[in-house]
Structure formats: structure tokens, C-alpha cells
A and B are shown apart, each in its own frame.
Chain A
Amino acid sequence: RKEVEQDPGPFNVPEGATVAFNCTYSNSASQSFFWYRQDCRKEPKLLMSVYSSGNEDGRFTAQLNRASQYISLLIRDSKLSDSATYLCVVNSLSGGATNKLIFGTGTLLAVQP
């Protein structure tokens, strides 16, 4: 079983739609959580961190459920420019060493005009 699991998609949605991505992680000792975005043939870039209380950045909302080891990303009012792969990332502890960033395989979003 992979340490971080995501639905690979693709998610095909019309402009203006609300779309939600989910992610589960297996290491209960994980400390911090992120969503990254990767455009086609580009490098991944940080979209937002995920905090226990949930956090929002414009049209994007991230939630963390530590009990269920579950992370989500909600995108409201989707734009064409949101089309990308969204990567769930977990800071996994390894023998006491932190900052081992483990990536999910990503969820592909295609926003249609």
C-alpha cells in the first residue's frame, strides 16, 4: 500500500464547477501536509499548506482529518487555468528525521469551457 493515496482521476468539470479531491495517508505520525500543483511537463509547485483547523486561500479550501488520516482540497468556481495535476504531500517521519516529503501520484483536473 502506498504511503499517500489519491484518486488519479481525471476529473473533467465545466468552468464554474466546484470540485473536491481527497487523499489518505498511512503514517499516523505524519506532521504536516500540503497540496502541490503540477502543470503538464512542468515542475510541481506549492499550492497551499493544510492545517488542522482547515484553511482557505481564495477559491481553494484545504481540510485535514487526523483521526481518519484524510486530506481534502476543494476548488470553487473552477477556471480553465486550474487544469493541472494536484499532488497531495505528506511530511513523513522516518527514524526521527523530519521533512521527508512523500507525494501522492496526483489527481488530474481538466476544466472544460
Chain B
Amino acid sequence: DARVTQTPRHKVTEMGQEVTMRCQPILGHNTVFWYRQTMMQGLELLAYFRNRAPLDDSGMPKDRFSAEMPDATLATLKIQPSEPRDSAVYFCASGLGGWGSDTEAFFGQGTRLTVV
């Protein structure tokens, strides 16, 4: 049963520390999304990639967040330095998409981040 795998599932860290979240998309999917979910804001799109190239990261605070796809089987989201307001659930999702075509996004189980 193909699924998106995210690690770690839970992370508690101190303010100022670097946090790295990892995502393994479903094999063969060419689109990867990173979302952040909080009670107040809901699901916010941080960044997304097509064929490993970043297409849009306008939703991501550039000064502390970075997203990369070193290869087709791994996407990473880093926060450095982390702040308490970064506490949220971070979801990775993958899908098959192309210009003008629909994409169903399959979500991983999320990384629940707490910054103290």
C-alpha cells in the first residue's frame, strides 16, 4: 500500500535549535507539497516542487525556512533557528501533476513540532 512517509512523527525542541523534517513521497509522484497546519490558520501551503524543482515557496518565511528535494525519494523542510510560533503540524503530500491537470494530494501522517 503506497503511502507518503514523514519523519519524525513528533519533535520537541528548544527555541533556537535547527529542525529538519523529512518526507518520502509515493514512488512515481512528481509533485511534492509542504503544508503547515495550526488551529488558527488551518492548512497553509509553504512550498511545492514539480520534478524536484521548486515551483512556489511564497508561503514560506525565507529567513528561517528552507525546502529542498535532494533526490526524487526525499524532500526536506528545515527551520533554523526555530521559534515557539513555528509549533504546528507539518504535512508533506505528493501527487501526479502536470500543466493544466488535476492532482490528488496524498498526505503523510505529519510531523507534530513543538518548540519550547
Report yes or no: B100 in contact with A98, Cβ–Cβ below 8 A: yes
Query: 1/0 contact trace for A98-113 toward B, CB 8 Å?
Result: 1111111110000000
Choose among A31, A42, A102, A105 the residue that contacts B100 (Cβ–Cβ < 8 A).
A31
Confirm or deny: B25 has a beta carbon within 8 angstroms of a beta carbon on chain A. no
Query: How many A-B contacts if CB must be within 8 Å?
Result: 64
Confirm or deny: B103 has a beta carbon within 8 angstroms of a beta carbon on chain A. yes
Q: Please judge, given known A-B contacts A103-B42, A105-B42, whether A32 and B107 are in contact too, CB under 8 Å.
A: no
Report yes or no: B43 in contact with A99, Cβ–Cβ below 8 A: no
Residues of A within 8 A of B108 (CB): 43
Residues of A within 8 A of B99 (CB): 98
Query: 1/0 contact trace for B80-99 toward A, CB 8 Å?
Result: 00000000000101010111
Report yes or no: A87 in contact with B110, Cβ–Cβ below 8 A: no
Closest B residue by C-beta to A49: B102
B30 smallest CB distance to A (angstroms): 10
